[in-house]
Amino acid sequence: MSKQPKTPVQKNEIVEVTIEDMTHEGAGVAKVNGYALFIPKAIPGERVKIKVVKANKGYGFGRLLEHLEMSADRVEPPCPIYHQCGGCQLQHMSYESQLKVKQKQVKDVLERIGKVTDVTVHPTMGMSDPWRYRNKAQVPVADREGGLVAGFYQERSHEIIDMEECLIQQQANDDVVQAVKKIAQENGLRGYDEKSHRGTLRHVVARYGLMTGEVMVVLVTRTEELPNKQRIVEQIQAQLPKVKSIVQNINSKRTNVIFGEKTKVLWGEEYIYDSIGDVKFAISARSFYQVNPKQTKVLYDKALEYANLSGSEQVIDAYCGIGTISLFLAQKAKHVYGVEIVPEAIDDAKRNAKLNHITNATFAVGEAEKVIPWWHAQGIRADVIVVDPPRKGCDEALLKTIIAMKPKRVVYVSCNPATLARDLRMLEDGGFKTQEVQPVDMFPHTSHVETVVWLVRN
């Protein structure tokens, strides 16, 4: 039997610690003889009593038992299920302190991982009203004694916390979830059980167009058959008059991926519409579209400023999605080339270009690290390259391509400071200089931070 490694604290031990820092997941960090302890819901500067719940070799986890000294940044979370639900991590902190923490996180990570030290990291751009901002709700549904429950998962579990409302969702989305839960129950629909792979209704997805007020309801079902389908559709229409589209998505697989491959319109339109600035977007059930359009405008305006377009530039947008940044850039560029690996996203990007009468944007399906070198070989020269990669950051082959193409400017939009720092190091080693870093709070009350970075070629 292997011996438990000797650590400065043991599991179940109760200790008093001072919180020194915060992780990028929003937990407080304390140290006992250099040994790091991570404590959810604790704030830097606080002195707390904790119970050690896990003691690994190099670090441990604690549960907050009592405050001995409380931070002035601590507030009472307004959400009644905040301490059970895993959706938000920072509601116990004042909004001003959340913005400061996010700025510090970006700065610390760039210095520690990327060795990017001599650059201005601006204060985080936040929202004047940081509530009710999300335009899409994806809510799992399950059976319980007493009926259906619909809500978000408890932190680090698959236990659904039933909810009446979510304070970071648009009110229209809450209305959809509550109405559909009631209608489904009245019509005898069973919630999905992931252990037995039984039940019909897996998720309720609500999408809301902030500028248009249009609403889409998506019923994600395990089976193609939807009992009492016509009655359910009629009741949704009657109870939710702003609904423009009712859609069924079929996901018959044993998986925690929300959507299946097959989608069919039960009533109304295939798309709802929204706009960011002057650009209009058609949004289908499975379209990727930024969940906080107000802050997306802030983010894209900053990206446009860093791109510094005069109208004569050729721009490449790697990871272009449904063309959101591309179409913004096309308003000021000579031509924009967008590439994205998801074929449906490129279909949406082309449709959105047509919708906005934008003719100076070309979209291609494929891996950016393969398509962009091919464009380069065809004689396409980029003055500006914009990247907005997933959390894992840019592919190394793409970064090498950017370095080889030698654009005047690179604008890097990131949702993960750690992979951003890694990629900036490679771009700096390849002849680029980081000029400015601007964090943007796209997801208030969560630990996530979006960042826009401006680089120029030395």
Cβ atoms within 10 Å, residue 446: 17
Helix (H) or strand (E) holding 411: strand 409-414
The Cα–Cα gap between 340 and 356 comes to 20
- Residue 302 token pair: 């900053």
Tracing tokens 């937990």 back to the chain, one arrives at 27
Instruction: Point out which residues pair with 153 in neighbouring strands.
Output: 160
71: helix, coil or strand?
Answer: coil
The Cα–Cα gap between 95 and 274 comes to 27
Q: How far apart are the first and last CA of the chain?
A: 58
- Taking the CA atoms of residue 38, residue 39, residue 40 and residue 42 in that order, the dihedral angle to the nearest 10 degrees is -120
- Residue 196 token pair: 């037995």
The Cα–Cα gap between 140 and 157 comes to 13
Q: Give catalytic residues, as residue numbers.
A: 415
Q: Identify whether the C-beta of residue 161 lies closer than 8 Å to the C-beta of residue 81.
A: yes
Cβ atoms within 10 Å, residue 78: 10
406: helix, coil or strand?
Answer: coil
The 409-414 sheet, strands edge to edge: 120-121, 432-440, 450-457, 409-414, 384-387, 314-318, 335-340, 361-365
- Taking the CA atoms of residue 219, residue 268, residue 238 and residue 227 in that order, the dihedral angle to the nearest 10 degrees is -40
Contacts of 195 (CB under 8 A, 6+ apart): none
Of 366, 454, 364, 369, the closest CA to residue 405 belongs to 369
Q: Which residues of 3-25 are buried (b: 16+ CB within 10 A; e: fewer)?
A: eeeebebeeeeebebebeebebe
56: helix, coil or strand?
Answer: coil
